A = this chain, B = another copy of it.
Amino acid sequence: MNSQTAYFPPFTVDFDLQAGIMLNPDRSKSTRASTMIPYYRDRAAIEALAADGDPVHYEVFEKNIPTEEGHIMICISKLLPGKIGDEFFMTKGHYHQRIATAETYLCLSGEGFMLMKTPEGECRAESFRPGRMVYVPPYWAHRSINTGKTPLITFCNYPAHAALNYGDILTEGFPKLIVDSAQGPALVERGS
């Protein structure tokens, strides 16, 4: 790099690790119930929630990091607790547009699952609890699911040029669901 070009400068981000809060985010994005209507199988239940004040489903807190190769994007994801029919609150899920990029999710608070699938349809779930990190390898679409009573909060790191692809997984759907059952949260086939 020549002397005419400035290097991107170091900076710090402060967290309350117990509460799972980013204390100085540059931006945040809220996803409300109304945008989750295509994702749950109990359409009447999610439509009713959207009509009843359209509350926030999950929030993502980020820093202004260049979306260029070589940078690492970080965020805090906060997924609220609740159920839509027998499904637990979940995120939309996404592939990365640059699909061969990984992501790490360190759970700071709450409990739940990371549901993952490959383009060919292999499906895996890993559990979240405070202090557990889930490694989402390259190629795997991924969705967080909150099976607890409190927000599921994760600290995420991924290549900043990855870019998020919501369209393909919305079309495909995940082959499995996490549903509430008499024995607690259960991983079941979508058609079941």
Question: A residues within 8 Å of B by Cβ?
Answer: 1, 3, 7-17, 63, 65, 69-72, 74, 98, 100-104, 106, 108, 114, 116, 118-120, 122, 124, 126-127, 130-140, 155, 157-160
Contact = CB atoms under 8 A, between A and B. Distances in A.
Given A70-B159, A71-B137, A74-B104, 16 more contacts: A7-B138, A8-B137, A10-B116, A10-B124, A10-B140, A12-B126, A12-B134, A13-B132, A14-B132, A15-B132, A15-B133, A16-B131, A17-B108, A70-B100, A74-B133, A104-B157
Contacts of A157: 72, 74, 104, 157
Contacts of A98: 70
Q: How many copies does the complex hold?
A: 2
Nearest to A128: B12
Contacts of A101: 70
Contact of A135 (B11, B15, B122): B11
Nearest to A137: B8
A40 B130 CA distance: 39
Contacts of A102: 70-72, 160
B158 A72 contact: yes
Q: Which of A114, A132, A133 has the most chain B CB atoms inside 10 A of its CB?
A: A133
A133 B76 CA distance: 12
For the complex of A and B, list the 10 residue pairs with the smallest distance between their C-beta atoms, beginning with the closest. Answer: A157-B157, A8-B137, A70-B100, A70-B138, A13-B133, A15-B131, A72-B102, A70-B101, A17-B131, A71-B102
Nearest to A19: B131
A126 B10 contact: yes
A96 to B, nearest CB: 9
Given A71-B138, A137-B10, A17 B15 contact: no
A17 B98 CA distance: 31
